Amino acid sequence: MANPRVHEIASELGVESKVALEKLKEMGEFVKSPASSVAPPVARRLKKKLIEDGAVPTEAKSEPAAKKPAGAPKPGAAAPTPGPKPGAGPRAPKEEAAKPAAAPAPAEAAPKKPADKPAEKAADKPAAAPSDAPKPSAIPRPMARPGQPRPGNNPFASRQGMGRARPGGAPQRDGERRGGRPGQPGGAPRPGAPRPGAPRPGSPRPGAPTTPGAAPGRGAPGRGGPAFAGRGGRGRGGTAGAFGKGGGKARSRKSKRTKRLEFEMREAPTIGGVRVPRGDGSTKVRMRRGSTLADFAEKIGGSPADLVTILFHLGEMATATQSLDETTFELLADELGYKLDLVSPEEEDKELLETFDIDLDEEDDEEDLEYRSPVITVMGHVDHGKTRLLDAIRSGNVGAGEAGGITQHIGAYQVVQEHEGEDRSLTFIDTPGHEAFTAMRARGALVTDVAIIVVAADDGIMPQTIEALNHAKAADVPIVVAVNKIDKEGANPAKVRQQMTEYEVVTEEYGGDTMFVDVSARTGEGVAALLEAVLLTADAGLDLRANPNREVRGIAIEAKLDKGRGSVATVLVQSGTLRVGDAIVAGTAYGRVRAMINDAGERVEEAGPSTPVQVQGLSSVPRAGDVFLQTEDDRTARQIAEKREALERNAMLAKARKRLSLEDFKTALDEGKVETLNLIIKGDVSGAVEALEESLLKIEVDDSVDLRIIHRGVGAVTESDVNLATVDNAVVIGFNVRPDTKARERAQREGIDIRFYNVIYGAIDDIENSLKGMLKPEYEEVQSGVAEVREVFRSSKWGNIAGAIVRSGTITRNAKARIIRDGIVLADGLAIESLRRFKDDVTEVKTDFECGIGLGKYNDIQLGDEIETTEMVEKPRD
């Protein structure tokens, strides 16, 4: 089929050629004259644009729309509308459009022909069949026109509305990116995601009282109404969103958004010859750590290959599947008008746990809560007596108490103090100082209920006292000040109180709300009073309760590898009761509790809230601050640990991006990131190494560049060479040698550029070019596969899908495609947006296999066309 000429399109629509030309110009397509022909996709866009913008006389407008059901903007819009622009006709006020739920049902709005009018209309137009629904962009916001189908009984509207109105926990229905989870394709339900129909507390409950908005929708006697009402009412957070507000809003928003995207696609300047959907500068893109360009592409609806190209033009090289760091994504996001929203490790972990149905924020029922001891951390300046005080608290207790025994340092201990006639226990974290406190807090773990700030009375407030104060304040932990060393001569407890007021810590004696207790860790004086003060402070401001009868949650506070017992970890149970035999996971360590000992070194069978115990049986050593969880079974524990490990690995990989490659040396030099090109030379014989070194040092470059050979040697490239390269940001040159496996792995992880040569001149040339900034990676286009179109499936949602058979090579999802018809290239550089075998999305399809290929917006596919795919591969240099 020949490409249509502009005047032909114009006359088909009944507009003047110059209007069409003008429109083409607006669209960014520069066409000389009405006799010029345009490619079919452009022709189609032009028609759509002309219709949308109201340039087409009404009669002409409805005609092509009726002829081409798939292209019809929408059932309602296909009907002749008076006035120059669709939507400019009589319209209900905007507010009504936005809130159809609150609006009266059609029956009330248009009393003449109740609700069967919209139903009739929908039935009239075959285009209205949901499967053939037009692209959202073609829907010109017509919802509130009188007499048009209302969202309440419009199949499209209700469908979309319901999609939006799901309660937080329900799996996602549509393939919308907006709500899609980072790292998860589209909106596919996550494995193990919260079950549908099992809403979380706080989410709208199925069967909750119907909101007023739902009533008109249900009550409307239109044909679509009741059927959809029934569906919407089931487990979807009520029907209001399904029919009214949600539906209407979602629809108009989507349409606008898509339009904007399309607009921007057209207007966007191309970078490196490709266009990708752009953001408006504030469009958020949520990415996980260690994501790849392919992930980013999925989020913005572009193609990974295009992003590779763009990034390349921004001076960064990456493959589509390589984990990238935050800076690289920022660069890309900035360029494309997006705002990067990097998922924090905590959020990431939370999401991971959610996939296992574990919700860390889940709250217990009031009646299940029981008293637990407060957990206390001691902080203060060096030598003010933290350790001694912790000892005094413990030994004072042990001395007075029954246990006697050998005390065991497990990282925390419990003491008992009589308080208001009652024996109360207190749990002390046995690692003094705010480093541990901060380290744990940095990992999102806050175990401390009360902080004791120790200040030596003979020394007063010191820098770390202030730091400790700030840490406690930042964590919103109440404090008690222990004024220590009062036995010492020159002790001035009053001065400490006075100094503290400068930091807004005012003693109760001065009318403040912080308790100060004078103690001597040496003599034990005041220690009991200190414990009482802690209890009073805790009771005054904290809810010291936890549910001992649930699965265990806690924090690992200390862990080590013990020769005989393997991994031993002290955990502080926060809720639930930990028992021997429980399946547990802490960070990336998992296992079953083999044995537990308490702070007195005794074996125990169980540990409840606020009880520290040392646990044996974990697969590896968790870190202090790792959240400790009981899982249903070993398998879950292992899976969580493995997933966490994978996430960490990804994050690590992202950090280890290329540090310095020969290609980007000049850029790095120009940007002042490097001053010298450091080289490490390894070769098979010493003569070669020397020759190479000599020749390299002779390379003439201007004074601004310095070339240094920081290490040379004979033999394979080893891990230690790579380590050196890591430290000194060097490039490794291997002459007739290869790296060993460890070195290769490490180089990959650290992003070290290792080059191999077998002719000296090759190396010299490359280095010389690199110093001059002329060494560009060379890519070549290779044909990767050819498929023949056997059938064309029309899908309104995905565009046309080519049912094809692969004739040669492999068709891959990341490749670029071109369409060849009768030996002529019709379109090039198309992204393969979907690749399927039967119902499954696949990443590649090999020769002789059939597949479905979707080319996104490009729809001009015919029987017999060839789809050829190409990939850019970096040309090896040696």
CB of 779 to ligand GTP, least distance (A): 58
Q: How many residues does the chain have?
A: 878
Ordered alpha helix ranges (H), 105-179: 106-109, 116-124, 155-164
Q: Least distance from C-beta 454 to ligand GTP, angstroms?
A: 6
Q: Binding site: residue ranges?
A: 380-387, 430-434, 484-487
The two structure tokens encoding residue 751: 């992003």
Nearer to ligand GTP, 55 or 392 (CB): 392
Residues in 520-539 at the binding interface with ligand GTP, rule: CB under 6 A: 520-522
Minimal distance in Å, beta carbon 524 to ligand GTP?
A: 9
- What residues form DSSP beta bridges with 446? none
Report in angstroms how near the CB of residue 455 gets to ligand GTP at its nearest: 10
Q: Beta 545-546 vs 370-371: how paired, if at all?
A: antiparallel
* CB of 370 closer than 8 Å to CB of 548: yes
Sequence letter at residue 663:
E
Q: Are 164 and 250 in contact (CB under 8 A)?
A: yes
Helix axes 304-313, 326-336, angle to 10 degrees: 90
Question: In this chain, which stretch among 256-264, 291-299, 483-491, 560-568 interacts with ligand GTP, using CB under 6 A?
Answer: 483-491
Return the residue of 153, 484, 514, 547 that touches ligand GTP, per CB under 6 A.
484
Instruction: Give the separation between CA 95 and CA 244, rounded to whole angstroms.
Output: 12
Nearer to ligand GTP, 218 or 485 (CB): 485
Binding residues for GTP: 380-387, 430-434, 484-487
Per CB under 6 A, the list member of 432, 548, 554, 751 interacting with ligand GTP is 432
Site for ligand GTP in 57-86 (CB under 6 A): none
HSE of 650, CA atoms in CB hemisphere, 13 A: 20
- Give residues 588-647 in contact with ligand GTP (rule: CB under 6 A): none
Q: Which CB sits closer to ligand GTP, 118 or 380?
A: 380
Q: Which of 291, 303, 288 is nearest to 341 (CA)?
A: 288
CB of 488 to ligand GTP, least distance (A): 5
- Rank residues 523 and 758 by Cβ distance to ligand GTP and give the closer one: 523
- Token code pair at residue 48: 């759509």
Interface size with ligand GTP, residues (CB under 6 A): 17
Which residues fall within 8 angstroms of residue 703, CB to CB, at 6 or more apart?
A: none
What is the Cα–Cα distance from 273 to 829, expressed in whole angstroms?
9
Binding residues among 113-172 for ligand GTP as defined by CB under 6 A: none
| Least distance in angstroms from the C-beta of 431 to ligand GTP | 10
CB of 478 to ligand GTP, least distance (A): 21
Q: Which residue has the tokens 């003449």?
A: 112
Q: What residues from 374 to 413 belong to the interface with ligand GTP (CB under 6 A)?
A: 380, 382-388
Cβ-based nearer residue to ligand GTP, 387 or 718: 387
Piece in contact with ligand GTP (CB under 6 A), picked from 35-43, 362-370, 481-489, 804-812:
481-489
Question: In the complex with ligand GTP, which residue's Cβ is closer, 357 or 383?
Answer: 383
- Take residue 512 and report the two structure tokens written for it: 């403040």
Query: Shortest Cβ distance from residue 398 to ligand GTP (Å)?
Result: 18
- Please report, for residues 89, 708, 771, 772, 775, the alpha-carbon distance to residue 669 in angstroms, rounded to integers and kept in the order given: 62, 14, 9, 10, 13
d(CA 574, CA 342): 29
* Binding to ligand GTP in span 504-523, by CB under 6 A: 520-522
Q: Are strands 779-793 and 866-874 parallel, antiparallel or unpaired?
A: antiparallel
99 binds ligand GTP (CB under 6 A): no
Give CA–CA dist 453/461, Å, rounded: 10
CA–CA separation, 398 and 795 (whole Å): 77
Q: Please name the residues in contact with 691: beta carbons below 8 A apart, sequence gap of 6 or more.
A: 760
Work out whether 683 is an interface residue with ligand GTP (CB under 6 A).
Answer: no
Helix (H, G, I), strand (E, B) or coil at 600: coil
Contact call for residue 429 and ligand GTP (CB under 6 A) = no
Residue with tokens 């696949």: 842
Whose Cβ is closer to ligand GTP: residue 258's or residue 387's?
Answer: 387
Among 488, 495, 638, 818, binds ligand GTP (CB under 6 A): 488
Task: Report, in Å, the least distance between residue 459 CB and ligand GTP.
Answer: 10
Closest distance of CB 521 from ligand GTP, Å: 4
433 vs 622 by CB, closer to ligand GTP: 433
Q: Based on CB atoms, which residue is closest to ligand GTP, 407 or 619?
A: 407
Helix residue spans in 443-560 (DSSP H): 463-474, 493-501, 527-541
Q: Which is nearer to ligand GTP, 218 or 386 (CB)?
A: 386
- 283: tokens are 């469009």
- In the complex with ligand GTP, the residue whose CB is nearer, 417 or 520, is 520
- In whole angstroms, the minimum distance from the beta carbon of 642 to ligand GTP comes to 38
Least CB distance to ligand GTP at residue 392 (A)? 8
- Taking the C-alpha atoms of residue 309 and residue 293, their distance in angstroms, rounded to an integer, is 11
CB nearer ligand GTP, residue 531 or residue 546 = 531
Rg over CA atoms, the chain: 35
Taking the complex as a whole, the smallest distance from the CB of residue 416 to ligand GTP amounts, in Å, to 22
Residue 829: strand, helix, or coil: strand
* Closer residue to ligand GTP in complex, CB, 387/769: 387
CA 847 and chain centroid, separation: 36
Check if the beta carbon of residue 180 is closer than 8 Å to that of residue 187: yes
Please give the residue whose beta carbon sits closest to ligand GTP in the complex. 385
Say which residue the tokens 């949600």 belong to.
Answer: 246
Between helices 6-13 and 17-26, what is the axis angle to 10°?
A: 110
Closer to ligand GTP by Cβ: residue 307 or 392: 392
**Cβ contacts of residue 193 below 8 Å, gap of 6+?**
169, 171, 354, 355
Tell whether residue 434 is a contact of ligand GTP (CB under 6 A). Answer: no
**Nearest-approach distance from CB 387 to ligand GTP, in angstroms:** 3
Question: Which among 814, 806, 813 has a CA at the least distance from the CA of 867?
Answer: 806
Amino acid sitting at position 609: P
Q: Which is nearer to ligand GTP, 264 or 458 (CB)?
A: 458
| Minimum separation from the CB atom of position 396 to ligand GTP (A) | 13
Using an 8 Å Cβ cutoff, are 245 and 99 in contact?
yes
d(C-alpha 81, C-alpha 549), whole Å: 66
**Taking CB under 6 A as the rule, does residue 227 contact ligand GTP?**
no
Query: What distances in angstroms separate CA 78 from CA 97, 287, 468, 489, 653, one per listed residue?
Result: 19, 41, 70, 95, 53
702-724: burial string, b at 16+ Cβ within 10 Å, e else: eeebebebebbbeeebbbebbeb
Q: Which residues bind ligand GTP (CB under 6 A)?
A: 380, 382-388, 432-433, 484-485, 487-488, 520-522
